[in-house]
Amino acid sequence: MGLGFFIAKTLLERTGAKVDFHNARGGGAVVAIRWPREAIEAPPD
């Protein structure tokens, strides 16, 4: 996880996202990105 991941994580967090990552059991990585609903939901008309 190099500089690209750091840049992407920083940009995602600026939009209100929470980024979690961990090692998968069988190898590899698991990355979860979550935004609060109000950060992505359009305002009501």
CA-to-CA distance for 37 and 31, rounded, in angstroms?
Answer: 19
- pTM for the complete prediction? 0.69
What pLDDT score does 28 carry? 94
What pLDDT score does 41 carry? 86
In a domain, 15, yes or no: yes
In a domain, 45, yes or no: no
What pLDDT score does 2 carry? 82
Residue 36 carries which DSSP code?
-
Q: How many domains does the chain have?
A: 1
Sequential pLDDT tens for the chain (45 residues)? 589 989 999 999 999 999 999 999 999 999 999 999 888 888 887
In a domain, 36, yes or no: yes
In a domain, 28, yes or no: yes
Domain extent at residue 17: 3-40
What pLDDT score does 24 carry? 94
Q: Quick one: which H or E segment has residue 45?
A: none
What pLDDT score does 1 carry? 59
CA-to-CA distance for 26 and 41, rounded, in angstroms?
Answer: 35
